[in-house]
Structure 1
Amino acid sequence: MAARAAGLVNKLKLAATDMALMAKPAMQTYGSLAMRELGPPSPAQWPTIQKDLQGLVKSAKSLKFINVSVKEAVTGALLGAEVLCWFYVGEIIGRGSIIGYNV
């Protein structure tokens, strides 16, 4: 029995080593992409951000969002529902329970 357990431990050790070797290039790629994509905006990007926000305000004032297709409206509603669900998941994780805050 002890020999089987030792053999299982050795197999698990080899599998973990192989997985770590296979995951290393993917994690390096993820790290470089995460640093670039998830970081704060650079000063060179601020004019583009300002222009996009002004366009958003302009389209809201002209009620451009009323003239959308059903497909775009459903897509937007589903996206909003997904964001709301992830918000609630974060709230549940943050407070440590589903039902309420521990006061």
Structure 2
Amino acid sequence: MSQLVAKAQALANKFVVAARPQLEEFWKYAKVELSPPLPADFQKLKKTAESAKKVSKKDMMKKSGFSQITVSEAWLNVLVTVEVITWFYMGEVIGRRHFVGYKV
């Protein structure tokens, strides 16, 4: 029994040593990416939103709606829309693991 405990401890120690670099990298990025936003971040977000609003208004004034879209741009938009819808439904099928409905 003591040999089994010793082997389990050795295996656990090997696991800890092997996992340490990945965990250190994960924590390094988690401290930055998963931290709550600071008040300065909200100011940057407000400035970015305002500049995006100005740019979109300029673009809308330039193109004036759908009348300025070429046939190739419209066709490209249709193809992108069909691709997004297809990937959505394929994700649903993969998630259900069945083509029609859920297995109950």
Structure 1 length-normalised TM: 0.48
Larger radius of gyration: 2
